[in-house]
Amino acid sequence: MSITQTYVCVIDTQYVCIDGILNARHITNRGKGVPPEFKQKGTAMHLEGAVIKEQGQTFAVVVVKRHVTNNRHEASSAIQSFSRCFPGMPIVLMSQDSRGVPTYFGRRDIANFLSGVPTSAIPWERYTFN
């Protein structure tokens, strides 16, 4: 996969959405929220993600559905929820469109770094949390 152009959409001073599509898009509220399985207690939560150590920084990347990275409120809520799974680590969310082009939502420096890394080079794992 190659990304010919990356669009950077500044969400706020703390988070940024990096999108590998050619056209700008609006972040809209679709009212989906964090999936209920992430909120239920006593059930196992499965997720695809990676813990990466790069340039002295350890951070987590979590795969989410596209509507999550398209919505600032949902993305921020998801990051907060996932922080229990990866304590003390900055978290970046990653979704892909139908062509496999990734979108990253999270800290600007990490999202910018990830936008230059092929998704096949990320050490993806399946995590289970109780």
- Selected from 3.40.50, 2.60.200, 1.20.120, 3.40.1350, the CATH number assigned to the domain covering 7-23+36-129 reads 3.40.1350
Q: Is 8 a residue whose pLDDT tops 50?
A: no
What is the predicted pLDDT for the residue at 42?
Answer: 58
Q: What is the pTM of this model?
A: 0.69
* Domains of the chain, residue spans: 7-23+36-129
pLDDT tens digits, residue range 26-78?
A: 333 333 444 444 444 556 778 999 999 998 999 999 999 999 999 999 999 99
- Cβ–Cβ contacts within 10 Å for residue 34, how many? 17
Handedness of CA 99, 23, 111, 10 (dihedral sign): negative
Q: Find the range with the poorest average confidence among 25-34, 88-97, 99-108.
A: 25-34
